[in-house]
Each structure stands twice: as C-alpha cells, then as structure tokens.
Structure 1
Amino acid sequence: MRIFQVINVRWFNATSWYALYLSKLLQDAGHEVLLITVPGSETEEKAIEMGLNVQTIELNSARPLKLINACTKVYSLIKKHKPHVVNCHRGEAFFWWGILHKLRMGYKLVRTRGDQRLPKSDFFNRYLHSKVADAVVVTNKRMADHFLEKMELAENRLWLIHGGVDSDKFCFDPEGRRQVREKFGFTEDDVVIGMLGRFDRVKGQKELIEALAKTRNNVDGKSIRLFLIGFPTATSKHEVDTWLTNNGLTDITAISGKCENVTACISAMDIGVIASLWSETIARAALEIMACERPLISTSVGVMPDLLPAQALVPPQDVNQLSLKLDEIINSPGFKEELLKEH
C-alpha cells in the first residue's frame, strides 16, 4: 500500500516517536510510506536518520500565503503518489486532510491520537471522527472509552493500539550495567532508583526528589542512590540541582546528560520510576524500562493503568503516596519479583 503518515510535531516527543516507528515498521513490511512533517523540526531530522522518505510542508502556519502554498503542496503530493491511506497524528492536519477526503481524493483517512488531552465531544468533532475518518487509533483505554462513550464512535471504527518497544535493542545488558554503575560511582550494594526522561515539569522530577527524601529515612541499612537519565529541556539543570539541594539529595544523585547507550543506563537501575504529573499517553520510557527487566512503579496517568497492575500505581503529584510506594518496593524483594512477572 501507499501510505502517508502526517505528523506536524516539531519535537521528537512520544507522539512523533509513535508516528515514526509506525512508519518504519510499515516501510520494513514492504509498504510505500511517505512521512509528511514540518521543515526544520526534530521529527524531520529523526525521520531522515531512520531512513524514511520525508516531505516537509508548513502544516502549522496560519499565514494566508503559507497556507495556500501548503495546500498546493498537499494536493500535488496526492496527485503524484495516489495514497491508499492517510494517517494524521495531529488534529490541525486532520481537519485539512478531512476536507480533501470528503472531496473524494481516493484515500482512506485514519486519525491517530497519541495525545493525552481528550477531544471535545461537540457535534463538529463527533462528525469529523465518525463520519469523515474511516478509522480512529488510540493508544490507551481511557481515550478509547472517551471515544465510545462521549464521542459516540462505532466500536468497529476504533482501534486501541498500545505503543511498542524494540526488544532486540531494549533488553537487560549486564556489561552495560557494570560500566554505567562504575562511571557514576554506584556500588553493587547501592539501590539505584532511576528515572528516564527529559527535564520537564510534566515528568515529575521534583515530586520524585521530594518523595525519595522522605523514603531515605525509612530504609535503614540500605544505600539509596538516585539516577536521573535525562537532560534539560523545559526545565533547566539549575532548577533540578536546586530541588536536589533543598531536599538534601545532591550527594546521592547522578545525572546522565544525553546518554549514548540508553539501554545500559536503564540496566544500571535497580528500580524504575515514572512520576509524571500528566501525559504518558504512549509511555515510551516505561516500555523501555519494562523491556530491560527493571521493576517499575508509576503515577496513574495516561496509559500507565493499561501497562502496570494497580499495586504499582500511585496518584499523580502525591509525594506521600509515591514515598510509601518507594518504601515498599525498596524493602520488599517479593514485590519487585511480582512486578517483574507482570512486565
């Protein structure tokens, strides 16, 4: 089949990741895939790096001349490639491709929602998803329930497809674990609590730091270390350092910065934590941690209730509950083994 994947996201976030890896899998399966994104974006850069066919269009511009130029390019691509399927991963592009679809341009239209925000259930939105789109793909049960109950979408038009992970790339690496722990000064006796994710308020680094400061007093006889696998984006390193200083954790914390071997860094953990305040609609980091056979606890946001048992979850932004869950997983080998079986 000839497939257009439309992903007008500038940053290589989870939504972009889902679109790019779906494109790569389809291309590897023999389909003709064209990825359409915005110029000069991280998404474009990553797509080219992955060997995908890429076309850039100013899909996000509201300026009349750029909008006319974008529409002309879209029309030209349709005429040239005659796609069988167009899959829109963002709402802005979905609207325009929906109009072209209603003009009988000859393709099936799919709307993939990798966003944590529930769509409004007004008449126009219901019409767009149920009468214009041929199928809707969602990445978590909460979103699926919203489409069935609030958006009144027919069940046979809805597909729940969780994010995936390359288990050949992301698997426990004993040698990588040894090297990373040696590099950052972790001993074999240390219990390393790890978080994988960019420095951003949504990821909950602050809440994890505050929770671990409480937990540190409840684990007598155990040497606790914190490993933040990530780098500054919306949140600066200075801000993270301030949280660590204020909570007395500077001396037990290591920050990886940009990590060339993510699998080795994950393997260096003893316990993984997702402390996100919201989002985690796809939960790429969680899937990678689980694939590396590291026991994982999380806040109950996004897709996490689909991936982990209830006993591994705590409410978002609840530092006390997160601290208690850290106490439990650090002090209970049986709990860790139970979680690994669930992974």
Structure 2
Amino acid sequence: MRVLHVITGLAAGGAEQQLRMLVARSEVEAEVACLTNPGIVADAIRADGVAVHHLGMRGNTDLAVLPRLASLIRRGRFDVVHTHLYRACLYGRVAARLAGVRSIVATEHSLGARLLEGRDPGRPGVRELYLATERLGAVTIAVSRAVADRLAGWGVPEHRLVVVPNGIDAHAFAFDPEARRRVRAAHGIAEHTPVVGAVGRLDRGKHFDLLLRALAEVPDAVLLLVGEGPQREPLTALAAQLGITERVRFTGESAAVPTLLSAMDAFASPSESETFGLAVIEALAAGLPVAYASCPALAELPSSAAPQAHAIEPDTQALRAALQTMLVAGRRHEPPSAVTRHDIAEVARTIDRIYERTAGGEQVAATATQEGGRHG
C-alpha cells in the first residue's frame, strides 16, 4: 500500500513532528507533500529516507496547486491520501478526488476552542469550506476527544470521526545529563541556575507573555523558550520592559527539543486552547514537573496518570506560584503512565489499520480505536 501525506508546511511544530514520527514507524510505503514552507522537519523526513515534495503554494488562494498535487497523486499511484492541517485538508481532499483516489484520511490536529491554526473558526467561510471538503474524505481522525467534540459541533457526522491521540517516542525524551551540560553551556546558563522551559509556536494563543511576567517575579530563574513565530519581537520587547532580557533565552525553531528539555528544571504551558497538549506530554517524558493551563491529553486520564503535572489558571500569579513550587522542589521524576499511554509505535499501528480499512471500503469509525472505541 502506498500513502501520500499532504501537509500545509514542514516548519517545526507539533503536527509536523507528529507526521515525521508516524511516517518513520508506519508499515506502509509513504511519501510526503507540503504545500509551502519546507522547513527543518522536511529535512529530517528526507534524512529518514522518505521523499518530500514541495508544491510551492504561494498563498491560501493559490488554486494552481490543485493540478500539481493531483498530478503528483496520479504519478505516484497512491492508494490513500492522508491530509494534515486546515489548508492541506481543503486542497488535499479535492486534489485526491481529482486524481481518482477516494480513500482519503484526514487528521485534525489544531481545532481549538478559540483558534484553528491561528484563524478564527467563527470567521465566515472557514467552517463551510472545511465541511464541504470533509465530505470528500472517508474518515477524519481527531487527536483528542475534545477535538472530536468540536468537529461534531461543527456538523461533521459522528460516524465519520475516530479518535487517535498523538504519540511520542518516550525513549527519545529520556533525561540526558551530558545534553544538559552542553545546552546550558551553549546558552550561557550556569550549572545550578534554575531553568524554566516552554515549547511552542510564538503566537498570541500560547500566552507566553504571561510566562515572561511570571518569570519577572521569580528571582534568578532563567526561561528557555523554544520556538519561533510572529510574537518573537513583541516578546523580546516585553522581556526588555520587564527588565529580564538577561534571563530569557529564545532558542528559535529547533528539531532538538528532547535535548533542550534535558536542560530544564520545570516546564510551563500557559496556553488555554490546546487540542492535545503534546509539549506537556513530552516534558513529562523528560521527567519534568509541569504547570499547564490546557492539556486534553491529560484531561481524558485520571490525575494519578501524571501526578507531577499541575493544572493552573492562565494568569501571571498562578504561573508564578507554580514556578516557585516546582523550582523549590527541584527534582526530576520517572515518566508517568500518561506518557506510556501515548506510544507513537501503537499510534502508527492504529493508523495503518485505518488505511487498510479505508482502502477496503469499511466504515472506519465503527471499529475500535486506540483509546477505547469510536468517538462518543
């Protein structure tokens, strides 16, 4: 079986890294097509031995990408097309149908309560376009039950929805003392300096401004902020305004998140509109205590599955108190059961079965999923 994954772009991000891990562990023959921005994840996927095609899309309304993508699908004789992220889902489903492929799987990674990949999901046309193209596919995978509920609320029929949570390679995130020393030295951080970490795209929805304000009230601690995005300059300016420029390290986009996590002592995720909370699960895999405002991956589990993870209100004072508590404790933990429940190898096996059933014309959402059956 041959599968073509279609994704909007391949800069470092949760959906993009998830795709890389999925392709590496899948038993099917796969290639990847990105509509635009083939970033560092594209390089990593190619290094894994998987072909990556860049379609050169020039903007959201560049319809010329459709015949290029349809031609790629026909030439590659793909049995299944699997789309990821909003723009790729719109164009990928249409192109697959133009190429004569009806076995179309989509994964919805980023439909939050208030944002859809930076878009307002209530903006005219956003929902309508999504629903119109969703009907062209065979099944839509939601990365959490919260996402599945939102899709159902949009009008996606429940018989077309299946929940398959994101996965991680827990071994890759194991604490590495040598990496800790190396990263701290590279960023000018002393061995015993307390380090708070955060990972994510630097946009408004992540609320990293709250984290900077909290850090200003935690003397001596350093923030290691991993990611890139449109809020880089405003956050840099805020750090200067708060007088903490020397205590904030912006690493930029990085494919070495496991290594960077080893340099941290505590982790914070102030975003209140996550669709899964992959960064939180990765931090737990690294043995870090975590404070988070939203993490559907944990909301669907008992609190005993991640005792070192603490839900907080998304405000400065709650973050400050959580950071102080975690840094005073100052110890790493064994990865909790919440981590082992999200093994990427099992996720890949589940999705491979979805491909087989979709290609065979089965109604996939009526079958068992990794997390205990169909949505609902």
The alignment's TM-score, normalised by the length of structure 2, stands at 0.70
Query: What displacement does 1:62 show?
Result: 6.9
Alignment of 1:226-241 (within 5 A): 226-230=222-226, 233-236=229-232, 239-241=234-236
Which protein has the larger Cα radius of gyration, Structure 1 or Structure 2? 1
Shift of 1:172: 0.5
Matched, 1:112 2:115: no
Shift in alpha-carbon separation, 1:17–1:308, aligned structure 2, 3 A:
farther
Which runs of 5 or more structure 1 residues have no equivalent in the other structure?
217-223
Match of 1:287 among 263, 281, 285: 281
Aligned-partner Cα distance in 1 for 2:100–2:35: 22
Secondary structure of the residue aligned to 1:195 is strand
Between the aligned partners of 2:81 and 2:255, the Cα distance in structure 1 is 34
Q: Judge conservation of contact 1:204–1:275 (CA < 8 Å) in 2.
A: yes
For residues 86-105 of structure 1, the aligned pairs below 5 Å read 86-99=81-94, 105=100
Deviates more, 1:169-178 or 1:257-266: 257-266
Instruction: State the shift of 1:143 in Å.
Output: 0.8
- Classify 1:299/1:19 alpha carbon distance in 2 versus 1 (closer, same or farther; 3 Å): same
2:36 touches 2:58 (CA, 8 Å); kept in 1? no
Q: 1:6: how far off? A: 0.8
Q: Give me the CA root mean square deviation.
A: 3.7
Q: Deviations over 1:294-320 (max 9, x none)?
A: 11111226656457949712233x112
Q: Which runs of 5+ in 2 are unaligned?
A: 340-376
> Aligned partners of 1:123 and 1:182: how far apart in 2?
50
* CA contact 1:86–1:110 (8 Å) conserved in 2: yes
Match among 206, 212, 226 for residue 209 of structure 2: 206
For the residue of structure 1 that corresponds to 2:282, the secondary structure is helix
Map of 1:136 onto structure 2: 140
Shift in alpha-carbon separation, 1:44–1:263, aligned structure 2, 3 A: closer
Q: Which residue of 2 aligns with 1:220?
A: none
Deviation at 1:210, TM superposition (A): 0.9
* Bigger shift: residues 324-333 or 171-180: 324-333
Matches within 5 A, 1:1-343: 1-9=1-9, 11-26=11-26, 29=27, 31-38=28-35, 41-42=38-39, 44-59=42-57, 67-68=63-64, 70-99=65-94, 105-116=100-111, 117=115, 125-126=130-131, 128-129=133-134, 131-155=135-159, 157-181=160-184, 184-188=188-192, 190-197=193-200, 199-216=202-219, 224-230=220-226, 233-236=229-232, 239-250=234-245, 252-256=247-251, 262-276=257-271, 278=273, 280-300=274-294, 305-306=299-300, 309=303, 312-316=310-314, 318-331=315-328
Structure number with greater CO (CA < 8 Å, separation at least 6) is 2
Q: Give the Cα–Cα distance (whole angstroms) in 1 for the partners of residues 59 and 247 of structure 2.
A: 46
2:264 match: secondary structure: coil
Tell me if the contact between 1:305 and 1:313 (Cα under 8 Å) persists in the aligned partners. no
Structure 1 residues 326 and 127, CA gap change in structure 2 (3 angstroms): same
Give the number of equivalent residue pairs: 323
CA contact (8 A) 2:12 2:254 kept: no
Q: Tell me, what secondary structure is at the counterpart of 2:174?
A: coil
Over the matched positions of the two proteins, sequence identity in percent amounts to: 22
Closer, same or farther: CA 54–10 of 1 in aligned 2, 3 Å? closer
CA positional deviation for 1:105: 1.8
Could you give the per-residue CA deviations for residues 35-83 of structure 1, whole angstroms, max 9, x where no partner exists? 11235632644433443212232456577xx735x44333433333332
Query: Cα 1:144–1:232, aligned 2, differ >3 Å: closer, same or farther?
Result: closer
SS in structure 1 at match of 2:32: strand
